[in-house]
Structure 1
Amino acid sequence: MKITLEHIKQAQENIKNITLHTPLVKSHILTTPGRDIYLKLENLQRTGSFKLRGAYNRMLQLSAGEKKRGIIATSAGNHAQGVALSARELDVFATICMPENTPLTKIRKTESYGAEVVLYGANFDESYSYARTSAEKSHQPFIHPFDDAHVIAGQGTVALEILADNPHIDVIVIPIGGGGLASGMAIAAKAINPHIKIIGVEAEGASCFNESFKQHHICSLDHVKTLADGIAVKRPGEMTYELLSHYLDELVLVSEEEIKKAMMLLLEYHQILVEGAGAVAVAALMHNKINPTYKNIALTISGGNIDLSTLSKVIDYGLMQEKRRISFTIQLEERAGHLHELMHILEQYNANIYSMTQSRNHVNLQFGYQDTDMVLETNGEKHAQEILSAIRESGFILSNL
């Protein structure tokens, strides 16, 4: 089936009673003079990502017999929730195979919609192979997360909403994992405005499309590793590779550090909670990977399903990077008043102690001293340097900065 604008418009009609028309908001932090930046907030979609759109549109195509047998799907998390909610709405039993390292929040949410979750494999591709084999043995329909015409058409409805809300958008930046979202959005956007630019973003640790485009054929990566688990795919889809080879204008890569910084910016300045995959479009813009001549840009925030432990690590990393939290080891004499002298300095400079651990067990520690590992909260790099300089000038020995 050749996917057209009409298929995507039909998908929009199909899913209108279950999905939300998510906001397109202007980012006053990222907007600069002569360049307007908008965020398409699919993290606010039901189930926390765009995946519900394609999953529900595909599930509507099931015959009565297929619905009775139940379906099988595989997912790193977001497609799982989309399929699970769709199955509940359509009274279909769903078995979802997910990688063993899937964040707990995605597993719990998938189960909360009534699906059975099976954990298998170290990554999406191992989980996918297991699920496909299970579907063949049980003769149950397999709901593909991206390489399916109805799924792609459903995802394309994101672009219809963007251009309905702001017809002046001339660039759309889209995360790429398996390529279903970018394929559907590109078809819709270019049918409405042939001059619009479609830019895809992959994580450096999961750049299967970038490698495939370089080799001019579909390639499988040996391994994938990225914070952006929602786009951690080893191999492009057959359909999506063909579509994006035709429709994609540019493809850029972002590093793990760039993804973390984008997540922090969205959380702190926009109060928007996103997962790693949801931040890659912002990461590309923040780190000057989008042509500065492009003026009206929509960044697709694809999802917000992040595990709390992962979020905590990202926040810790961001605070350390900006020197709003600093760690060091300081040698303290074992005499009355020495610790008090240190506390006096910290009080003078209004530094908050986040944690402090004392030890006498280091091999090279001088007799009569103890090492104290400290983490301080500061107001940023300048404040941090003032505190550290004052501590050194008072004769304290610092290490492990």
Structure 2
Amino acid sequence: MVSLPDAPALSVDDVRAAQKTLSGVARTTSMEGSRHLTSLVGSPVHFKCENLQRTGSFKLRGAYVRIAGLTHEERARGVVAASAGNHAQGVALAASLLGVASTVFMPEGAPLPKVAATRDYGAEVRLHGQVVDETLHAAREYAQQTGAVFIHPFDHPDVVAGQGTLGLEILEQCPEVRTIVVGVGGGGLLAGIAVAVKELRPDVRLIGVQAEGAAAYPPSLSAGHPVTLESVSTMADGIKVGRPGNVPFKIIGDLVDEVRTVSEDALSSGLLLCLERAKLVVEPAGASPVAALLSQPDAFEGPVVAVLSGGNVDPLLMQRTLRHGMAAAGRYLSLRLRLRDRPGALAALLQELSVADANVLDVSHVRTDPRLGLDEVEVELHLETQGPEHCTDVAATLRAAGYTVVPTR
């Protein structure tokens, strides 16, 4: 049993009670094998596909359990939350299912599809602030002014218990599991899984994954208390949290074996792998366990379960991330070179690229740069390639044809 600061003790029995509360509400999401990662790791790797959960992420679990536990009087006052996306949708649907009015504050720059989905699930959406911290402050003020109950995304025992139901499902679906890898923001999901799993299977290794630019847990665990980062920066907005929650921090410190970090390149490569190999749409935060497996495949004892925590990715971010992932995987090449500004010069260049089997995605010309001669033009090319070796071959082909190649990445 885990002792929580300023909260009741939390055990696997609380997670089982949450599972009963969620019966008929949250889906038991599928477990899918990954042949590619299995070959890299050297033992079975499975995806726990929480990106296929209702609302597109695990957040419905904790939000529903938290709101279901409110008194009749509290429900009558309504609930309020702050989120850039996943928690917003989870609270909106949970409140609608329970007949509770909900108000959700979202940043002014929140992706329009997430704003629209939150409204469609029944919440009143209020756009406020440029970053989530400002939005969070506005939501807390609203709660104080109106009496609405603030639903925290991760720092409450009921939320942690709700997220922990995912851990029970993992043990049921993959009883032979040896390692579970989970993305970490505030820590509610990892803490809930830890409570469920470690009491039943203390031999299972639990590994949390954070983005390098938003990794509050490593310094916090070293200090022995939650530490607030001065700044956070990552494409993975689902785990872009600058301070661990008090409730999950204690659990993670006591029960989790390791918290490691991954780069932005690894995150985009993980997302690309999910899309291409598993045919699964996963947001960068949800791909963080895959990024960890790709970064150091020999560090994980299998069978491994990687939790794909969400699939709510903005289409524009998906486009940028896939492009980033292709570059990280050596399948996207940008380069610049100079040509004589005369008819047929570009056609000749494109012919060389065709011979090299490079797919041209974009071509741009610069004619006004003072560094160029009167009869010169600079061309920037964006190419799709077959991998790092092919990138090298393409550049070598162009140099052999007499072009001066200047890579841009």
Instruction: Give the TM-score category using the shorter length.
Output: over 0.9
**Following TM superposition, by how much is the alpha carbon of 1:210 offset from its aligned partner in structure 2, in angstroms?**
1.5
- In the TM superposition, residue 21 of structure 1 has moved relative to its aligned partner by 0.3
- The letter of the residue matching 1:213 is L
Evaluate the alpha carbon distance shift between residue 340 and residue 6 of structure 1 in structure 2; reply closer, same or farther with a 3 A threshold: closer
Task: Give CA-to-partner distance per residue, 1:69-119, whole Å, 9 cap, x none.
Answer: 211112231111111001111222111122334333222211111211223
**Distance in 2, Cα, partners of 1:140 & 1:262:** 39
What aligned pairs does 1:194-213 form with structure 2 within 5 A after superposition? Answer: 194-213=202-221
Q: Report the secondary structure of 1:8's partner residue.
A: helix
Q: How many residues end up aligned between the 2 structures?
A: 400
Residue identity matched to 2:50: E
Match for residue 380 of structure 2 among 368, 373, 383: 373
From the superposition, tell whether residues 252 and 383 of structure 1 become closer, same or farther in structure 2 (CA, over 3 Å). Answer: closer
* Identity fraction in percent: 38
- Distance, in Å, in 1 between the alignment partners of 2:240 and 2:350 is 46
Supply the distance in 2 between the matched residues of 1:154 and 1:370 (Cα, whole angstroms): 61
CA contact (8 A) 2:165 2:196 kept: yes
Q: Which runs of 5+ in 1 are unaligned?
A: none
Q: Distance in 2 between matches of 1:251 and 1:375?
A: 37
Q: CA deviation at 1:257?
A: 1.6
Task: Say which SS state the counterpart of residue 356 (structure 1) adopts.
Answer: strand
Q: Secondary structure at the match of 1:31?
A: helix
User: In the aligned structure 1, how far is the partner of 2:343 from the partner of 2:18?
Assistant: 74
Q: State the Cα deviation string for residues 332-383 of structure 1 (Å, max 9, x = none).
A: 2233433333233233333332222223101111122222222233333333
- The amino acid that maps onto 1:278 is G
- The answer as to 2:305 corresponding to 1:295 is no
Aligned to 1:397: 404
Match of 2:129 in 1: 121
The structural deviation recorded for 1:290 is 6.8
**Distance across 1 between alignment mates of 2:406 and 2:297:** 37
- How far off is 1:400 after superposition? 4.3
Other-structure match for 1:157? 165
2:354 to 333, 347, 353: 347
Match of 1:257 among 261, 265, 269: 265
| Match status 1:103 vs 2:84 | no
Contact 1:125/1:234 (8 A) holds in 2: no
SS in 2 for 1:391: helix
Unaligned regions of 5+ residues in structure 2, if any?
1-7
Aligned residue for 1:278, secondary structure, equals coil
Match of 2:5 in 1: none
Q: How does 1:29-178 map to 2 (within 5 A)?
A: 29-32=36-39, 35-178=43-186
User: Are the structure 2 counterparts of residues 350 and 131 from structure 1 closer, same or farther at C-alpha, using a change threshold of 3 Å?
Assistant: same
Q: Which amino acid aligns with 2:101?
A: F
Query: RMSD of the TM alignment (CA)?
Result: 1.9
State the TM-score, normalized to the length of structure 1. Answer: 0.94
Verify: 1:241 aligned to 2:280, yes or no: no
- The match for 2:3 is none
Q: Distance in 2 between matches of 1:42 and 1:290?
A: 25
Is 1:8 aligned to 2:15, yes or no? yes
> Matches of 1:296 and 1:343 in 2, distance apart?
48
State the shift of 1:242 in Å. 1.4
Q: Which amino acid letter does the alignment assign opposite residue 364 of structure 1?
A: R
Name the residue aligned to 1:319. Answer: 326
